[in-house]
Structure 1
Amino acid sequence: MAIRTTRTRRRLLTTGSLVVAVLLGVQGTAFAVDNLPPDQPVAGDLHTDSKACATGDDRAHVAQAPRLSAVLHDTEEDDRPQPDLVKPEFEAWWQDSDGAERRLTYNQASALPPGTPVYWQLPSEIPPNTVVSWRVRANDGRATSPWSDEGTGSVCEFVIDDQTPEKPVISSPEYPDPGPGEVLWTDGVGVYGHFTFASPSDDVVEYRYSFLGGGAGTVRPDRIGGPATVSYLPQKTGPDQVVVRAFDRAGRSAESTYYFYVKAGHGPGAWWKLSDAPGSKTAAPEAGPAARAGSGVTFGASGPAGTDLTSVARLDGTGHGFLTPGTSVVDTEKTFAVGGWVRPAGPDRDMTIVSQDAGTAPGFTLGSRTRDGEPVWSFAFGGAQVSGGNPTAGEWAHVLGLYDAETGRTRLYVNGQETGTEQQAAAVESAGDFQIGRARGKAGYRDRWQGEIGDVRIYDRVVVAKEAAELAHREPGLRGHWSLEAAEDGVSPELYDGAPLKLGGGAKIHRGPDYSVCIPDIDPDCPQVPYALVGDGDLELDGQTGYAATDEPVVDTGDSFTVGVVVRLADSEPEGPMTVLSQGGAHGDAFKLRYFPSTYTWQLVVSDGDREEATETIVGENTLPDEAQRLAVVYDDETDQIKLWVNGHNQPDATATFRDSWQSTGGLQIGRAHTGSGWGEYLHGSVDEVHAFAGVLDTTSIRQLGSGIEPCLCG
């Protein structure tokens, strides 16, 4: 096939003013030396509909009589300001059913500038299932070019296919079709299905598919009319389907739908909660074999708040701090996932959560590794290492590593979020013993874990992203709700008999109007009493000495927490900052929520330590607090984010990264904060509906804070 790249011709010129007319014969065409014929059209500029010029097995197949197109050139005219025009002459021919040649021609009446596409819409009399050939040449009014198929040129061919292919046939060994009217639930989420598309028609060249559960694409068979197979990973349980459309060479298609039903993903093949009684020598399994515990393992340590782990195991980081079932628990040449809850005592060295022996080396390791002097979570397998996230001493994290044999990729999830960049791995066999808290080395075991470990699970399938998030989910827990409706002996109770708020001087409970006594609109002697912010009462603070506080911390400021409050300022333009809520230590505040009048801003302020000169991170939202404001502050330890909500918006009004949280020892303060000289930033205004939670509430629950609707704690 000839493809034109450049065209270089020389005009025959005479010297002086004499132009010699010479007649030359080229391919049966006469022309004068002062007008060379247009260029021979080349295959690269010819199309049948949108399909390239081709012959034989590569010829175009179309669904109906096509439109032929060409781009014509005349080199001597292309660069002229006003070039001569050219017009096309098309020919098409074929043999009819009697073997006689049929030929059609088309000479366009109008001429166009060189380089302009020209077209011929063939008539409907072209017979189907017949090889039709065509060619084209250019005419500039004085001379014509050679035909596009002459010399080194190429004829173009096409066939009109007027038959729609039959519907594709779909099958899957993992997710079989039970037949009409039947339902067959098949395992399940995280297990690949392989779906084969086949067609009874022998001219299908492409299948386009779309799964109800997500995922669509195009696949071509290895040979025309052959089958093609795609893989699909169900992400959720429930009815699913794949719609497949088979296309032939002419673009005609037929569609089929295949229904299947996906069960929930099957549970782990091995699983230890590590919530065994103190003094136990083995870890009882939820699935798989029991695990022997070394003498450096202590059961009964506190588990992560917001989970069902009542207790976990603590490993001391020595050669005796390990657990092992004494056998392998996962086939690492196939898909697998391993993970668990961990809290490192101090991630200043390489430490292993879980591994499995492969001779004198580990087949895989999941744990904490030091990279460029910083600790990172890491999953290493098959020559690949995925790293991301930062382990922090004393902070809980759920860590999960995954090898997907279908794709050959490894992934790492930290606290339910994919972290780092997935890597290509070469599957390796590791038929040795499974290890918790250590990894095999040439000289023995190494990289021992120091800290807590719990809920270790091993799967022989893909743990999909939603499941990874569910495994890492920590249910928010209510730590206090103070409705501030009443106080007795200077104490306002927590709604569920938790730690009460003790009122300091300059603080009092304000009660709204009592309509059982009198109604102002009816009784002129009835006193005008302002309404409470929410409900029947609120807390009034004088801005001088007024505050309320608990004796002990309400939230663990070193872990995730959410605090909400309703507040109304008595001064629209106070002289200095006024704090609504704070909690800290002896010298500073781990967090405080305050109004900063010079910029009309609500601010969430967090610090990196219990000292007067601690470094602060501040986020704020500009507003004019003329009315009651519903505020919420969040610290998300899993993502290292602080967030501020104002008046129940759909998303945080201000967000920042913060990694230096610390566990405060002082009580929750309402209406004051630490300053360099002691307590200060006293609030002049009213406070109501104080909520405190361990963990991060979802957006819906945060928007409900202070609205009179109890948050659902949906997590």
Structure 2
Amino acid sequence: MSGAAVRDDRGRRGLLTHDATGAPLATPVTDKGLSLNGTTSYAATAGTVLDTSAYYTVSAWVRIDAGVSRTMTVLTQTPDSGSPFGKKYIPFGLSYAGGGGDTWSMSVLDSGGAIHKASAQRATPRGVWTHVAGVYDAATKKISLYLNGVLQASVDAGTVWKATGPLQIGRGIWADAYTDYLQGSVDEVSVWRWALPADAIAGEAQLMTSDEYAGVELVADWSADRGSGGTIADNTSGYGRPMTLAGGASLDGESIVLDGVDDAATATGPVVDDTGSFTVTALASLDADKLVGKQVGYTAQVVGQRTADGSAWGLWYELTGMEDVLDPDTAEEKTVPVGFWHFGRLDATGTFSAVESVAAAVTDGMVRLTGVFDAPAGTISLYVGYEQNGDAQAFTAKPGSGDFAVGKGLTGSAWQHYLPGRIAEVRVWAGAMADGAQFEETVGD
């Protein structure tokens, strides 16, 4: 490490509670990442790692700092001489075009000086963890780019050449000058002297730390009992996004209280790369009396990420009917709401692409809701308590933008879907937890 590069506690594997065999650790270990300042800091090997004229794969988990608008390079290898050029240039670059489309790319400079680039099909927001991988296949003479384990593009590489200098993490070189310093975090840098197949890259993006545990990094943690005034601070995840109450939302010392009309809370988003694996959990309670005043078919978002035309994803409640029951306190008949939980997306027509809870949602009591998106598998799962509800369902991810919302959802250009009830906490992890056992240990109650 050089130029003020430091190790910090924001490592993509998060808090490790088990070793590689799945055995519990006596003391949990906080994974560390590499923090780079964007001007002077980088890391480099002492010698050559790759034969860039032969097969290779390079990958890393990367989080670009919010607000940085320029090209940055996470991985390359510096030539030890200018040959075949008059000056030193990168043989390949795994780079982010901040301010120029905000897309990742894998590029090579061929021996004739032409650049060949495999670019992502979509923009990637800053401030989130993304798995990026580049592959050169010497048999097909093509380069490929993968994001979060999913192929983005493959293009011809031209005639590649051998650069025998050190591997560089967090910067590139052009015409003998080091440039494109990365500002943000880098972790899990991996290099293979082979062109990994697609399934192996998808496996890398899952980041399993053992057969039964996945590496998950807590990136947001809002607990209402730590709130003050109109703000709930995140002092535990290390990413520090505050959540702000809106409308008439209030804190009662334990929960955010929501009236189902205009109350909500928001944080600057996106919190995760919504096309990458993530886990979200919330502790929520529905207000039965206020729900009785809603029309059957009413939908309310517990928590979700906004995108251009609605919510990229969310934990939802859908009111499906009313039921008359005997009130045990008054011995009189009363009407109660009947509805179900969902995890997924609600489109502009009011149609869910989501997993639905097996049993009707309990009202007037806190319920643990957890949603998981497994990006390489392309599936979403819903857990109520620590029990998976239904099977994992195929899901097409939609990149998020704008506010991360609690207690409301966006449809078209308007906020609606207000939740009547209370929310005690919301937490979000980069990475898909493996199963209910990992939830129970990691989430706790």
Q: TM-score range by the shorter chain?
A: 0.5 to 0.7
The separation in 2 between residues aligned to 1:328 and 1:595, in whole angstroms, is 58
Pair 1:317 & 2:57 matched: no
Corresponding residue SS for 1:469: helix
Aligned CA distance change for structure 1 residues 457 and 594 (closer, same or farther; 3 Å): same
Please list, as runs of the form range in 1=range in 2, the aligned pairs for 1:27-176 lying within 5 A after superposition.
Answer: none
2:401 to 660, 664, 679: 660
TM-score (norm 1): 0.37
Pair 1:299 & 2:16 matched: no
Match of 2:105 in 1: 378
Pair 1:620 & 2:360 matched: no
Aligned CA distance change for structure 1 residues 430 and 660 (closer, same or farther; 3 Å): same
Match of 1:414 in 2: 147
Deviation at 1:351, TM superposition (A): 0.8
Deviation at 1:428, TM superposition (A): 1.0
Deviation at 1:478, TM superposition (A): 11
The separation in 1 between residues aligned to 2:351 and 2:179, in whole angstroms, is 43
TM-score (norm 2): 0.56
CA RMSD of aligned residues (A): 5.6
The separation in 1 between residues aligned to 2:419 and 2:71, in whole angstroms, is 45
Deviation track 1:559-603 (CA, whole Å, cap 9, x = no partner) reads 62234889999689833247584489xxxx9955222569x8866
Deviation at 1:409, TM superposition (A): 1.9
Aligned CA distance change for structure 1 residues 593 and 322 (closer, same or farther; 3 Å): same
Aligned CA distance change for structure 1 residues 680 and 629 (closer, same or farther; 3 Å): closer
Deviation at 1:311, TM superposition (A): 0.9
Q: 1:392 is aligned with what amino acid?
A: P
Aligned CA distance change for structure 1 residues 696 and 624 (closer, same or farther; 3 Å): closer
Pair 1:349 & 2:67 matched: no
Pair 1:696 & 2:432 matched: yes
Match of 2:279 in 1: 561
The separation in 2 between residues aligned to 1:467 and 1:662, in whole angstroms, is 34
Deviation at 1:300, TM superposition (A): 2.1
Structure 2's unaligned 5+ residue stretches are 17-29, 83-87, 208-213, 219-235, 237-250, 261-266, 306-310, 322-338, 363-367
Q: Point out which structure has higher relative CO (alpha carbons under 8 A, 6+ apart).
A: 2
1:334 to 45, 54, 57: 54
Question: How many corresponding residue pairs?
Answer: 332
Question: Given that residues 561 and 696 in structure 1 are in contact (C-alpha distance below 8 angstroms), is that contact kept between their aligned partners in structure 2?
Answer: yes
Question: Given that residues 558 and 663 in structure 1 are in contact (C-alpha distance below 8 angstroms), is that contact kept between their aligned partners in structure 2?
Answer: no
Corresponding residue SS for 2:199: helix
Q: 2:195 is aligned with what amino acid?
A: V
Deviation track 1:236-262 (CA, whole Å, cap 9, x = no partner) reads xxxxxxxxxxxxxxxxxxxxxxxxxxx
Match of 1:593 in 2: 316
Question: Given that residues 344 and 353 in structure 2 are in contact (C-alpha distance below 8 angstroms), is that contact kept between their aligned partners in structure 1?
Answer: no
Aligned CA distance change for structure 1 residues 327 and 619 (closer, same or farther; 3 Å): farther
Question: Given that residues 357 and 382 in structure 2 are in contact (C-alpha distance below 8 angstroms), is that contact kept between their aligned partners in structure 1?
Answer: no
Deviation track 1:400-434 (CA, whole Å, cap 9, x = no partner) reads 21112122221222222222234344221212333
Deviation at 1:353, TM superposition (A): 0.7
Q: 2:420 is aligned with what amino acid?
A: Y
Deviation track 1:294-342 (CA, whole Å, cap 9, x = no partner) reads 2231222511245867112211111x22222353221112111222221
Match of 1:393 in 2: 126
Deviation track 1:474-494 (CA, whole Å, cap 9, x = no partner) reads 426598xxxxxxxxxxxxxxx
Aligned CA distance change for structure 1 residues 374 and 619 (closer, same or farther; 3 Å): farther
Deviation at 1:343, TM superposition (A): 0.9
The separation in 2 between residues aligned to 1:594 and 1:697, in whole angstroms, is 23
Q: 2:64 is aligned with what amino acid?
A: P
Please list, as runs of the form range in 1=range in 2, the aligned pairs for 1:153-232 lying within 5 A after superposition.
Answer: none
Corresponding residue SS for 2:201: helix
Structure with a larger share of its residues in strand: 2
Question: Given that residues 50 and 193 in structure 2 are in contact (C-alpha distance below 8 angstroms), is that contact kept between their aligned partners in structure 1?
Answer: yes
The separation in 1 between residues aligned to 2:203 and 2:394, in whole angstroms, is 27
Question: Given that residues 103 and 124 in structure 2 are in contact (C-alpha distance below 8 angstroms), is that contact kept between their aligned partners in structure 1?
Answer: yes
Aligned CA distance change for structure 1 residues 616 and 658 (closer, same or farther; 3 Å): farther
Corresponding residue SS for 1:352: strand
Please list, as runs of the form range in 1=range in 2, the aligned pairs for 1:568-607 lying within 5 A after superposition.
Answer: 574-576=292-294, 577=298, 579=300, 581-582=302-303, 593-596=316-319
Structure 1's unaligned 5+ residue stretches are 1-292, 480-497, 508-542, 546-552, 608-614, 667-671
Instruction: State the percentage of identical aligned residues.
Output: 19
Aligned CA distance change for structure 1 residues 673 and 367 (closer, same or farther; 3 Å): closer
Aligned CA distance change for structure 1 residues 415 and 464 (closer, same or farther; 3 Å): same
Match of 2:420 in 1: 682
The separation in 2 between residues aligned to 1:638 and 1:426, in whole angstroms, is 34
Question: Given that residues 621 and 654 in structure 1 are in contact (C-alpha distance below 8 angstroms), is that contact kept between their aligned partners in structure 2?
Answer: yes
Q: 1:345 is aligned with what amino acid?
A: D
Match of 2:336 in 1: none
Question: Given that residues 644 and 653 in structure 1 are in contact (C-alpha distance below 8 angstroms), is that contact kept between their aligned partners in structure 2?
Answer: no
Deviation at 1:367, TM superposition (A): 1.5
Aligned CA distance change for structure 1 residues 606 and 627 (closer, same or farther; 3 Å): closer
Deviation at 1:344, TM superposition (A): 0.9
